[in-house]
Amino acid sequence: MKIKNMLMSTAAAMVALGATAVTVQSADELPACDNCANSMTLVSWGGAYQNSQVKAYAEPYKALTGVDIVWEEASNEAVAKLRAMKEANNLTWDLVDVVASDAIRLCDEGLAREMDADTELAAAPDGTPASEDFGDLMVSDCFIPQIVYSTTFGYRTDVEAWNGKTPTNICDVFDTETFPGKRSLEKRPINNMEWALICDGVAKEDVYDVLSTPEGVDKALAKLDTIKDDVVWWSAGAETPQLLADGEVVIGSTYNGRLFSVIEEQKQPVAMLWDAQVFDLDGWIVPTGLPEDRLNRVLHFLKFATDTQRLADQAKYISYGPARKSSAPLVGKHADLGIEMAPHMPTDPANAKNTFLYNYEWWADNRDDLDAKFQAWLAK
């Protein structure tokens, strides 16, 4: 997989260079913005992630330009809301943070603006054009990637019933004998079906072939059936961390950055299970049909917010890997905790021994169908 190789090389570069300080030009001298609106509505996911964006992009930008930035937490409904806005011809958003699959969908539907990476985005400090710096992670013409994240598991380290054992393998999630207790899984088929098949003995590379057959779907659901009674289903990324912290579940899937904040910031007795983590991308799209002045403002902000230094800065607040190759060496220590961030990145070689990349195209085709089956199974 191309993306995976690219991630690996990023990680390797990160390790090779370590935290060597590389001086980058300061951002004091922003080019002037002609005919630009004075406020922007940015849409993101809320929580620690949005906070990292506020700290790394929005606050510095505001300090330099004085532009008002309003945040809206609606990325999980971005496609629906953008469609409604288009229908109403009433675009209230200026820049939207979405996952790659939604970006592809929005771009296909003409709801997201196609970007010219090399002219509209900043080049790397050494002059490498943006398109090369982002490389394969630009999975769609409309998508400006920010981070690489992964969906993975966290578990409580103080469960007495486990008799001192700790889960090391993805299939331990399905092993309620050795690891009794509630689990939390996302209330959708994506990822869960793949994990179930892998733990049912299907080879990683065959997962989607098997899942394309009705028998494969039954097989995956049968595997999930074995733990169904022990599962709490979540739909928002913040639920698993909360459930783990409260002790409502003992093991649960969520985004790795959310787990980082539970473990390192809130110091809860929770640890990461990186096995079979699923990589995904998250980034910006610009909605189509913005009036001239708002578009100018957004492009001005984007050029700043996606440059090498800003992407590296974001990693000071949350453990997601920056999407630019040139940002990797600049990743330093956590802003408050002062710990090295590199080992907490999903792309760190120690964490990425066994990873899984999910197939956007396959899910775009089969999402409706599988979702119907999955929900029917859930409701039974």
Q: Using CB under 8 A as the criterion, which residues of the chain lie in contact with other proteins when the complex forms?
A: 41, 43, 46-47, 70-74, 76-77, 79-81, 83-85, 87-90, 92-93, 105, 108-110, 161, 187, 217-218, 221, 232-233, 235-239, 242, 246-248, 361, 364-369, 371-373, 375-380
Q: Round the CA-based radius of gyration of the chain to a whole number and report it.
A: 21
Name which of 77 and 292 has its Cβ closer to other proteins.
Answer: 77
Nearest approach, Cβ of residue 244 and other proteins (Å): 12
- 71 or 357, CB closer to other proteins? 71
Is 41 or 176 the residue whose CB approaches other proteins more closely?
41
Q: Which is nearer to other proteins, 21 or 379 (CB)?
A: 379
State the minimum distance, in angstroms, from the CB of residue 82 to other proteins.
10
Residue (16 or 222) nearer to other proteins, CB: 222
d(CA 97, CA 29): 26
The least distance separating other proteins from the CB of residue 369, rounded to whole angstroms, comes to 4
Q: How far is the CB of 288 from other proteins (least distance, A)?
A: 9
Nearer to other proteins, 214 or 349 (CB): 214
**Could you give the CA distance from residue 10 to residue 147 in angstroms, rounded to a whole number?**
12
Residue 31's contacts (CB-CB under 8 Å, 6 or more residues apart) are: 300
- Least distance from other proteins to the Cβ atom of residue 248, Å: 5
Shortest distance (Å) from residue 242 CB to other proteins: 6
**Min dist. Cβ of residue 175 to other proteins (A):** 19
Contact (Cβ atoms closer than 8 angstroms) between residue 166 and residue 272: no
47/60 with CB nearer other proteins: 47
Q: Please give the Cα distance from 131 to 136 (Å, whole number).
A: 9
- Assign residue 107 a region: left if phi > 0, alpha if psi is -120 to 50, beta otherwise? alpha
